């Protein structure tokens, strides 16, 4: 019995011991797995790996998750391998597939300056590179085009072709600019030669931009050099007004305007912001002068550089005049020199006859005919007046009926020539010159003419001189509905130039004398042909250096373009090009031949003309420039 019980108990004890060992082993494995998994997860967290999971299975560790790239997967395996044997790490990590290739960013930057045109960027392969090169070459003219473009085999994005076409159109309008082109967007940084030109470019470019295109404009206008730096303000029965207004800053403009409003001025003066001011206190000095004029009761105030002339109106109170002048003089900074006069009554007859006051009178008809009459001091002054008038208005357009009066005061010839110079800036009108007074009246279609004439007379007549301007500005006529063809426009310009030349003084680019009216008539024609693509070509004789003549001819062509712009001609389709001495039309060995070679040409540019220099005889209108070249 006892033996039997022992035999039965022994297996049970063994089984129990085995069960206890199994339980202990399983508990040990669970503890090991828990610790291993926790250690690996801690290592992954410390490595900043939050996308991976770690599960322990005995001695093995399973890593799972989606790595952003292959390097991240390797980083996770390394972190786990630092905790357990790398052979026990099972890699179940997946890697995100690489992104599909993004479309290239197409864009072009065009840079145009005196050196030519540079173009850099990336084009769609479908863009016609040859057509683009031809367009850039045509815009650059004789200057170089530097091509640094690349292309990519990808469809052109929406808005690309429209942006590229408009960017090229904008570049053609601008002499100095950077044009940045992207799909649906064009950004333009440019420099203009004047505030008026800047405003016109901004208006024209905004109007020409295709619908839906984002346009960013940054056009700057450098300040011009104004000489003499002139301001002229009048206060009389006609009210308060400016004949000319030049300032050096917005602060000065505001000070001048505030003073003008105090004496009755209404409106906003067209003040030219420029360089050349004689003193930083310009604005305050002018404001003091306007206030003095108001205290006197009227008259004319003229600043011409450092010379200040105050002419009180006839009949002003002497005591009030003296006090206002004294206060004004005390307030003026040192560089300014004041000349104040209380005007005597002026009788203007305008006939130049013997019974009237001593006068010299010149009249300019709408047809350009000039009559000179009145008094001159001697035969030399008479000859000088006729010669100067012929140079300004044309040799065959002068009729002289002057008489000699030796009793005329000193300085009379200078006053006569100043009056003729001023008259030449008008379409038609008259000038009356007396010993202490000059009156100019007439018509202009150039809204800058009045200020320019005021500067001229202030400079030529000198200190303490009284003059009166009655200049009417008339806007150019509207473009007619029955517009002529571009070829007809060039033909009409040719008829004008066949009768009279566009002249320049030797070595000069200033348009003056009869050339002013020639440009007026050409402007009338061009306003009826706003879409005609026309080249203004400048040509010289062979006198002087080749490079100097090329530069001179370019500047003269540009001067004509600028003069047309001032007459409200749309110049976006006009180009100026100087050819120097390279295209003679006569023998440079004779004076007549050299004079023929000194010329300005208007040439129609055909629609498919890729090189203006290849077609010199295509619908060309020619005028000699009349100056001696090679004399800069």
pLDDT at 631 (0 to 100): 47
Residue 321 lies in a domain: yes
pLDDT at 247 (0 to 100): 95
**Residues whose CB is less than 8 angstroms from the CB of residue 416 and which lie 6 or more positions away in sequence, other chains included:** 360, 376, 381, 385, 433
pLDDT at 317 (0 to 100): 94
Residue 348 lies in a domain: no
Residue 528 lies in a domain: yes
Chain position carrying tokens 């003229």: 302
Q: Which domain holds residue 318?
A: 230-342
Same domain, 464 and 364: yes
pLDDT at 22 (0 to 100): 47
Domain-ending residue, one of 34, 66, 95: 95
pLDDT at 98 (0 to 100): 66
pLDDT tens track for 313-367: 999 999 999 999 999 999 998 899 999 999 888 888 888 777 888 999 999 998 8
pLDDT at 616 (0 to 100): 45
Residue 9: CB atoms within 10 A of its CB come to 10
pLDDT at 608 (0 to 100): 52
Model confidence, pTM: 0.62
Residue 455: CB atoms within 10 A of its CB come to 23
Domain-ending residue, one of 439, 473, 507: 473
List the end-to-end C-alpha distance of the chain, in Å, as a whole number. Answer: 146
pLDDT at 471 (0 to 100): 95
CA-wise closest residue to 494 among 604, 579, 577: 604
pLDDT at 12 (0 to 100): 54
Indicate which CATH number applies to the domain containing 52: 3.30.1340.30
The number of folded domains in the chain is 5
568: buried, middle or exposed (CB in 10 Å: 19+, 13-18, 0-12)?
middle
Same domain, 252 and 298: yes
pLDDT at 245 (0 to 100): 95
Q: Which two tokens stand for residue 393?
A: 């208005």
Same domain, 71 and 128: no
Same domain, 443 and 372: yes
pLDDT at 380 (0 to 100): 96
Residue 632 lies in a domain: no
Sites in the chain below the pLDDT cut of 50: 1, 20, 22, 24-29, 610-617, 631-632
Q: Element (H or E) spanning 242, and its range? A: strand 239-244
pLDDT at 67 (0 to 100): 86
pLDDT at 88 (0 to 100): 74
Indicate which CATH number applies to the domain containing 389: 3.40.1520.20
Domain-ending residue, one of 309, 342, 375: 342
């Amino acid at each position: 019995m006892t033996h039997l019980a022992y035999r039965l108990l022994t297996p049970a004890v063994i089984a129990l011991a085995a069960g206890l060992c199994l339980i202990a082993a399983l508990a040990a494995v669970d503890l090991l797995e828990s610790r291993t998994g926790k250690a690996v997860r801690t290592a992954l967290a410390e490595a900043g790996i939050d996308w991976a999971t770690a599960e322990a299975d005995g001695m093995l560790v399973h890593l799972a998750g989606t790595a952003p790239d292959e390097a991240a997967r390797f980083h996770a395996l390394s972190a786990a391998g630092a905790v357990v044997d790398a052979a026990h790490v099972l890699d179940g990590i997946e890697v995100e597939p690489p992104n599909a290739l993004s479309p290239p960013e197409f864009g072009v930057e065009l840079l145009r300056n005196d050196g030519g045109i540079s173009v850099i960027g990336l084009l769609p392969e479908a863009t016609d590179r040859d057509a683009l090169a031809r367009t850039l070459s045509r815009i650059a003219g004789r200057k170089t085009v530097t091509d640094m473009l690349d292309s990519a085999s990808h469809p052109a994005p929406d808005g690309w072709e429209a942006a590229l076409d408009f960017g090229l159109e904008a570049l053609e309008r601008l002499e100095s600019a950077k044009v940045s082109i992207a799909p649906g967007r064009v950004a333009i940084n440019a420099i203009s030669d004047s505030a008026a030109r800047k405003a016109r470019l901004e208006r024209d470019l905004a109007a020409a931009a295709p619908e839906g295109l984002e346009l960013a404009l940054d056009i700057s206008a450098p300040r011009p050099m104004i000489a003499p730096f002139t301001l002229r303000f009048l206060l009389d029965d006609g009210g308060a007004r400016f004949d000319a207004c030049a300032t050096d800053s917005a602060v000065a403009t505001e000070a001048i305007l505030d003073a003008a409003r105090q004496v009755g001025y209404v409106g906003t003066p067209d003040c030219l912001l420029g360089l050349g001011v004689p003193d930083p206190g310009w604005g305050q000095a002018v404001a003091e002068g306007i206030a003095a004029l108001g205290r006197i009761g009227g008259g004319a105030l003229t600043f011409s550089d450092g010379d200040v002339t105050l002419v009180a109106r006839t009949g002003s109170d002497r005591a009030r005049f003296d006090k206002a002048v004294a206060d004004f003089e005390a307030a003026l900074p040192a560089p300014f020199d004041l000349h104040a006069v209380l005007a005597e009554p002026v009788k203007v007859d305008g006939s130049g006859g013997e019974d009237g006051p001593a006068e010299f009178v010149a009249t300019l008809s709408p047809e350009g005919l000039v009559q000179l009459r009145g008094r001159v001091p001697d035969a030399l002054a008479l000859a000088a007046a006729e010669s100067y008038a012929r140079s300004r208005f044309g040799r065959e357009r002068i009729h002289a009926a002057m008489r000699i009066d030796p009793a005329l005061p000193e300085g009379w010839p200078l006053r006569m020539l100043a009056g003729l110079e001023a008259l030449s800036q008008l379409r038609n009108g008259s000038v009356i010159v007396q010993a202490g007074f000059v009156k100019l009246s007439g018509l202009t279609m150039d809204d800058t003419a009045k200020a320019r004439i005021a500067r001229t007379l202030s400079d030529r007549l000198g200190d303490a001189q009284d003059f009166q301007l009655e200049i009417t500005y008339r806007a150019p006529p509207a473009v007619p509905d029955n517009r002529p063809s571009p070829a007809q426009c060039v033909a009409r310009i040719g008829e004008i130039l066949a009768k009279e030349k566009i002249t320049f003084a030797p070595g000069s680019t200033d348009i003056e004398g009869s050339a002013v009216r020639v440009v007026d008539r050409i402007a009338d024609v061009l306003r009826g042909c706003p879409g005609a693509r026309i080249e203004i070509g400048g040509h010289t004789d062979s006198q002087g250096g080749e490079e100097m003549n090329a530069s001179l001819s370019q500047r003269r062509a540009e001067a004509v373009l600028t003069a047309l712009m001032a007459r409200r001609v749309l110049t976006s389709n006009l180009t100026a090009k100087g050819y120097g001495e390279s295209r003679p039309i006569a023998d440079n060995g004779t004076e007549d031949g050299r004079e023929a070679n000194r010329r300005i040409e208007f040439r129609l540019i055909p629609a498919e003309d890729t090189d203006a220099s290849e077609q010199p005889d295509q619908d060309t209108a020619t005028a000699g420039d009349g100056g001696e070249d090679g004399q800069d």
